[in-house]
Amino acid sequence: MSKALIVYGSTTGNTETVAGHVGATLHKAGWETTIKSAADVSAAGLAKGYDLVLLGCSTWGDEDIELQDDFVPLFDDLDQAGLSGVKVAVFGCGDSGYTHFCGAVDAIEEKAETLGALVVAGSLKIDGDPDKNEVVAWAQTVADHA
């Protein structure tokens, strides 16, 4: 069975909720799925043993893009995660009222691509409260392309 790892950074729980829906959808699609908070992982060798890595992070800050606090150390050391040649998809929650809507998602996707990750589906940027149907549809697309 193919293995997927979902790592999320979430302060008020929105991106955590999305991670849960993504995990459930992949599980139904036949993936062995592991979900972890960014607070509980270290970057070194993160992707080892996984066929697909999903990175979820909300955006904070205002004038500058700030990643959710727990995700910052992982982002900084992402080059140690072993993402080269690994299938990756990125998601996160934000608010389109801010200048950099879901800027963290763009930053993570860009860095992962620079590190040689194979981004399998366009990122998922959630505006406001997560809509389960939107998340499930995206996760299904990821499953279909991974």
Q: Give the interface segment with ligand FMN, choosing from 4-12, 30-38, 82-90, 135-143 (CB under 6 A).
A: 4-12
State both tokens at 67: 């990643």
Phi, psi values for residue 80, rounded to 5°: -95, 0
Smallest distance from ligand FMN to CB 49, Å: 26
Spell out, one character per residue from 98 to 127, where the chain touches ligand FMN: x when CB under 6 A holds, - when not: x-xxxx------------------------
Kindly report the CA angle at 46 between 34 and 65, in degrees rounded to 5? 95
94 binds ligand FMN (CB under 6 A): yes
11 binds ligand FMN (CB under 6 A): yes
Smallest distance from ligand FMN to CB 89, Å: 17
H or E segment to which residue 22 belongs? helix 14-28
Candidate residues 6, 93, 117, 121; the one interacting with ligand FMN per rule CB under 6 A: 93
Q: Each residue of 74-107: b (16+ CB within 10 Å) or e?
A: bbeebeebbbeebbbbbbbbbeeeeebebbbbbb
Q: Give the interface segment with ligand FMN, choosing from 12-20, 33-41, 71-79, 81-89 (CB under 6 A).
A: 12-20
